[in-house]
Amino acid sequence: MITLTALPAFTDNYIWMLHVGDRYWVVDPGDGDAVLRGLPRAAQVEGILVTHHHPDHIGGVESLVRRFGCAVFAPDDPRIPVATHRVAEGGAVDLLGTRFAVLHVPGHTSSHVAYYAAPWLFCGDTLFSLGCGRLFEGSPAQMRHSLERLADFPGDTLVCCTHEYTQSNARFALTVDPQNAHLQSLANSLGDRLRQPPYRTLPSTLRDELACNPFLRIRDSAVRTALEVHAGRMLPDCDERFAVLRAWKDGFRG
């Protein structure tokens, strides 16, 4: 049986690890030393999954390859220089007896990918708990399409994103959708979850995200109304709504 482990790194990153016994796979190791500290003495890293090129996701790849000689699966992007296998939409990665599908999910970056095998979704900086990534290289339409693809997975999918942004995202989500009872309950639970082992809010479930995350609820009437009030105009187009929502979040200081 595969076990999932989250390693904290930097200020708010998580490096996810999957393992069976002493056989480990690592997702987005921005800090190689954090991985080494989190591994049991006899552990071997067999492979690495990379979602995108940002330094806090690939900074430890080279040192882990030198240490373990492991495989590296990454998008075909020259900004990710260390890779043994390039992955793309429709591809798959077989690890620890499980096949992970590869999805191209542009928006945060142009070459961003996600990896999915029930119940795990490793979505990098595309989907966050109660939020989504900033649009550094993609358009609102691209990000909305990417999120809708991820939203099609089963409700019990574990959303293994890579930043502990949930509390700040909850404050924004409540500003957009203050009457959402499910969101209110979830937001109220976050402080307790961060004060008790394992001291994190992740992974979330896709079921909670579909009920609470405004970036997955662009078609919801309450979210649409809030966006139109904020923008001061009608927003019949979903991509325009998404653009307004993302810009609102970018400027949010609540």
Q: Which of 28, 31, 53, 57 is catalytic?
A: 57
The verdict on whether 250 is a catalytic residue reads: no
145 is catalytic: no
Q: Is 182 a catalytic residue?
A: no
3-state helix, strand, coil in the chain (%, to 5): 35, 25, 40
Q: Is 5:19 a contact under the CB 8 Å cutoff?
A: yes
Query: How many angstroms separate the CA atoms of 66 and 58, rounded?
Result: 14
Selected catalytic residue, list 19, 104, 112, 163:
163
Which of the following is catalytic: 54, 104, 112, 177?
A: 54
Catalytic residue (choose from 52, 53, 104, 112): 52
CB 114 within 8 A of CB 106: no
Residue 85 among the catalytic residues: no
H-helix or E-strand containing 222? helix 221-231
Assess contact for 119 and 156: CB atoms under 8 A. Answer: yes
Q: Which of 31, 53, 112, 125 is catalytic?
A: 125
Q: Are strands 44-49 and 23-27 parallel, antiparallel or unpaired?
A: parallel
Identified catalytic residue from 28, 31, 53, 56: 56
Residues that are catalytic = 52, 54, 56-57, 108, 125, 163
